[in-house]
Amino acid sequence: MVTSTEMTVGTSHANFTPTVWSKDTQDAIEHEEVVSKLVSTKLEAQLSIGRTINIPHRSNLATQTKTEGLGSTINWQAVTDGSDSVTVSTFEYAAQLLNAVVAVQSNYDERIRITHAIGYALMRGIETTITSLFTAFSQITGTYGADPDDAVLRRSWQYLADQSVKAGAAWIFGPAAKAALFGNDKFTSRDFIDGKSAIETAQLTNLYSYPVYESNLLDNPATGQTACALLHPDQIYLVRQIQPTVREQFQINNLADGIVAYDLYTAEEAEISPETPSTDTAASTVGDFLAVLIRTA
């Protein structure tokens, strides 16, 4: 007699159908380091010790009219300039414990994975510290929630051109702004650019002589809003007194390796003296003349 008993995965064959763990993990999304490479690090060598560095301002001088005659003496212009103070005070770290049992039994190289995650956290911290400065720029174009157009780019370019900036700056856009610019034939069509079009490369050519960079770590004041920028390196100082440094120590109380990485840095706006000469004694009013906040979607 033939029975109708079925050999099932959940019962009779349960011991023969194990759950298998993948040799790969589904890691969190990571964004690229972009903006920290586009700012000035020239103060790092000078601030190898100490906490604060002062950078004196120097104003341009004004011409004066000389009246003829021995009784008309020259007026010596005495300008009392200020200084820009940069203080290194951001001490950041990321840390995780690696249990001794997990280190032996894990299917993955947890030490490498933890070290990588810690390094990414520190990189992200520096990037977002820099990009958070964009919203404080006084020169502003565009509208939050709206796509940038050619008029926005041209006005942004003019702000720097008014300060005789001809090279060295860079456009920094978020994905939404860059996607909007892809829709402008002037920036994407082979009729206007050399080589392959943006449709083929997903890259924009130089816009008004400045290269284009894309960052996913820009400040978002609200949903659908992004703080992009046209930035000259000299407008932002990045000073890293301690580069990202990894340390490990066995924690007896936890029977685990403590893995930590830390850095010490600051990112601050520079104070730029304008071209307009100062008055007889008063210093020129400094500002952020080498950067533009571009408000976009």
Low-confidence ranges of the chain (pLDDT < 50): none
Superfamily name and number for 35-48+83-271+284-296: phage-related protein like domain (3.90.1690.10)
- Taking CA atoms, 6 is separated from 9, 15, 16, 162, in Å, by 10, 16, 15, 83
Cβ-contact 90, 133 below 8 angstroms = no
Cβ-contact 60, 81 below 8 angstroms = no
pLDDT of residue 8: 78
Cα angle, residue 167 at apex, residues 162 and 171 outer, rounded to 5°: 85
pLDDT of residue 11: 79
pLDDT of residue 12: 80
pLDDT of residue 192: 58
CA distance 286 to 24: 54
What residue segments make up the domains of the chain, in order of their start?
35-48+83-271+284-296
pLDDT of residue 136: 97
pLDDT by residue (tens digit) across 154-182? Answer: 999 999 999 999 999 999 999 999 999 99
pLDDT by residue (tens digit) across 4-18? Answer: 667 777 778 888 888
Residue given tokens 């050999």 in the structure block = 7
Residues with Cβ within 8 Å of 47's Cβ and at least 6 positions away in sequence, in order, are: 53, 86, 88, 239, 241
pLDDT of residue 260: 98
